[in-house]
Amino acid sequence: MAILGELGTQVLIPVAGVIGIVFAIAQWVIVSKVKVTPGAANASGAGKNGYGDYLIEEEEGLNDHNVVVKCAEIQTAISEGATSFLFTMYQYVGIFMVIFAGLIFVFLGSIEGFSTKGQPCTYNKGKTCKPALYTALFSTAAFLLGAVTSLVSGFLGMKIATYANARTTLEARKGVGKAFITAFRSGAVMGFLLSSSGLVVLYITINVFKIYYGDDWEGLFESITGYGLGGSSMALFGRVGGGIYTKAADVGADLVGKVERNIPEDDPRNPAVIADNVGDNVGDIAGMGSDLFGSYAESSCAALVVASISSFGLTHDFTAMCYPLLVSSVGIIVCLLTTLFATDFFEIKAASEIEPALKKQLIISTALMTIGVAIISWLALPAKFTIFNFGAQKEVANWGLFFCVGIGLWAGLIIGFVTEYYTSNAYSPVQDVADSCRTGAATNVIFGLALGYKSVIIPIFAIAVSIYVSFSIAAMYGIAMAALGMLSTMATGLAIDAYGPISDNAGGIAEMAGMSHRIRERTDALDAAGNTTAAIGKGFAIGSAALVSLALFGAFVSRAGVQVVDVLSPKVFIGLLVGAMLPYWFSAMTMKSVGSAALKMVEEVRRQFNTIPGLMEGTAKPDYATCVKISTDASIKEMIPPGALVMLTPLIVGTLFGVETLSGVLAGALVSGVQIAISASNTGGAWDNAKKYIEAGNSDHARSLGPKGSDCHKAAVIGDTIGDPLKDTSGPSLNILIKLMAVESLVFAPFFATYGGVLFKYL
């Protein structure tokens, strides 16, 4: 038996979750001390990173009062735009949620003809398990719970970001360190709220379901998989809808503003500028939050399903069963300590220290987490136990699972650093892309695409090694734990990730409020570091998605009773081909959606510049609301077809062609989706930072490429604009496609195993 008893587990998991939530609230209280009302700007007193807290404006004799009022106005406009978009989107998504919940109930309930009699268990025929009808009911409840948690996570993240953006701008007047801490604390609020609430809700769900299921752990954890499905299906709509919104506005604002009219980024004369800043919050924050929550829920579900049919489940060892949740609990405590390094232990005095500080967060959290996992593996697991491995039981030692989690953890760090190398303008790959702008946009595009393809190599090897090692040690359970290892430092990862859009917004507000160029330089430095960290965050999300979907795939194959997936069988091979094509179809849909929405946006921005007298001179105000409406309408309308493609494919393939073809489709989508997702994200990130490298002009090389508005810079802006839908719409949504199809197949596996393959039966 494990050292940590059942009581210890029942205390440790909720306590860790509550600590995370309390820490998030504490960070929020500190951020709220920065006042967005005139006259309160200097109330915070001289502190760390404060340089005695005099304001730049006071040196330059600018009127401080007007600046603060303007910041508050812009913040309100951004917050209202983001809230109204999310509410509109949630109405549509809510309808989908109810319909799909009905589908789950009907499909799973019909397996035994809606009977309420107990059935022989799937893996242990001698035992009687609870009726399929009740498992259908509980799966539906878990689906709705996961979906609601995912939506709330995204919404709260967006609220926090829109609360913090103007505060970061105002703090930038006191020094780059002050602004950094405000943005980072706000990111931490989101990171801790999301990872803690995900853990607590899952923990409560398991305990409530246990009241009905009692000893039938197989049925209990099978119904829990609905939680992962709910989380991911909402994330898909959040990512696609938010991604289309933000990029339509961004492309429209850049093409007309920067390239045609030669005005700076986030200039208040640009009609699309509010829509662009709203987009950062709904796409990068709300979408990313739901996405990582989905990954976390699914990897936990995959691990729990496999554990329930291993010795943990058969001997009813609750502590060992909850090992995935215990790892996440340790992760929250580790991330809390790591966050203190950024906010309280180290000071940031110069812009050049920002990126290293964020990198240190990743390294410290990974190192501390390794120690944490070693301790919890020793406390929570028996010395020897067996793990279900495609029909057989494989003996594993507790140190084996420590290696599985550890390899996932470190593979995540490697993927993060490789992503940083290819997308940060501190290294040669991005500088080469910037240099290629000398000869125009075409060479910039060629170099950027090559960079993206090349950046896939090392992450794929890292994922391949983690899969091989963790599978050799503990079969599919090992892979699920490697995915959880990658996500165990999610609170820190999300904090770093949310920091980017908050800094981006802060820069936009500084420009729109007419603050001095020195403040804009500070927010730009924050933003450039944020761009790289966003790419690192996407790297983590894609890497973990690959491992999660493989673990779910393994659980699906076991549950559907497929003995072996034979690639040479025509049923499987046609599935492989179709599956590998799906990410391309999906990317085509999302790219086209961004393109057509951007087209409308460009036409509207041009129309306003041409027809509103005094707009270019700054004497008339643009009509921001029309641009916000264009983005909202386009994204709501365009998110439905890609969403339907992902959600319907497993249902259609499983029902018509059966589980063998479906396993081919899942494998094909996984293999091709990961490659496209990594290359798309990194290509877009590199183009964006090549543009920023030229704009910042921090080195002789960058200065030789010209100031803003030069031919070189215009070529870089075109590259950045092409990269926008790649890095913020198609790339990040693909990792949800891979996971979502796998978790959906797992939830519907009992139905497909019973009734699937209609076409082949009659052919």
Can you give 49-81 as a three-state secondary structure string?
A: CCHHHCCHHHHHCCCHHHHHHHHHHHHHHHHHH
pLDDT above 80: residue 195? yes
CB burial readout 148-176, b (16+ within 10 A) else e: bbbbbbbbbbbbbbbbbbbbbbbbbbbbb
Question: Does 105 have pLDDT greater than 90?
Answer: yes
User: pTM of the full predicted structure?
Assistant: 0.90
Q: What is the pLDDT of residues 672-714, one digit of tens each?
A: 999 999 999 999 999 998 998 998 888 899 899 878 888 999 9
pLDDT for residue 46 is more than 50: no
Contact in structure between 495 and 553 (CB atoms under 8 Å) = no
Average pLDDT over residues 493-513: 89
Question: What is the secondary structure of 149-171 as a DSSP string?
Answer: HHHHHHHHHHHHHHHHHHHHHHH
Q: Are 100 and 647 in contact (CB under 8 A)?
A: yes
Write the single-letter amino acid at 560: A
List, in sequence order, every residue forming a beta bridge with 384; answer none if it has no partner: 397
DSSP designation for 128: E
Q: How far is CA 379 from the centre of its chain?
A: 31
SS (H, E, C) 487-531: HCCHHHHHHHHHHHHHHHHHHHHHHHCCCCHHHHHHHHHHHHHHH
Closest by Cα among 498, 470, 495, 474 to 482: 470
The confidence score (pLDDT) of residue 408 equals 93
Q: What pLDDT was estimated at residue 686?
A: 93
Q: State the average pLDDT over residues 179-198.
A: 92
Q: What is the 3-state secondary structure (H, E, C) of 382-396?
A: CCEEEEEECCEEEEE
Q: Are 198 and 332 contacting, i.e. CB atoms less than 8 angstroms apart?
A: no
Task: Give me the helix-helix angle, 132-171 and 6-32, nearest 10°.
Answer: 30
Pairing, β 384-389 against β 119-120:
unpaired
Identify the band that residue 126 occupies on the pLDDT scale cut at 50, 70 and 90.
confident
Q: Which range, of 48-62, 111-125, 248-262, 506-520, averages the lowest pLDDT? A: 48-62
Say what the pLDDT of residue 200 is.
94
pLDDT tens digit sequence for 419-461: 989 998 889 999 999 999 999 999 999 999 999 999 999 999 9
The predicted structure's pLDDT at residue 59: 45
The model's pLDDT over 579-593, given as tens digits with 9 standing for 90+, comes to 999 999 999 999 999
The mean of the pLDDT values for the chain is 88
Whether 236 and 646 have beta carbons less than 8 Å apart is answered as yes
Eight-class DSSP state of 397: E
pLDDT band at 288 (very low <50, low <70, confident <90, very high): confident
Q: How confident is the model at residue 266 (pLDDT cuts 50, 70, 90)?
A: confident
Over residues 333-340, mean pLDDT: 93
Per-residue pLDDT, 55:
55
Give me the half-sphere count of Cα atoms (radius 13 Å) on the Cβ side of residue 387: 30
The whole-angstrom separation of Cα 647 and Cα 736 is 11
What angle (nearest 5°) sits at the alpha carbon of residue 527, between those of residues 540 and 418? 30
In percent, how much of the chain has pLDDT > 90?
50
Q: What is the pLDDT of residue 264?
A: 82
Q: One-letter amino acid identity for 203?
A: Y
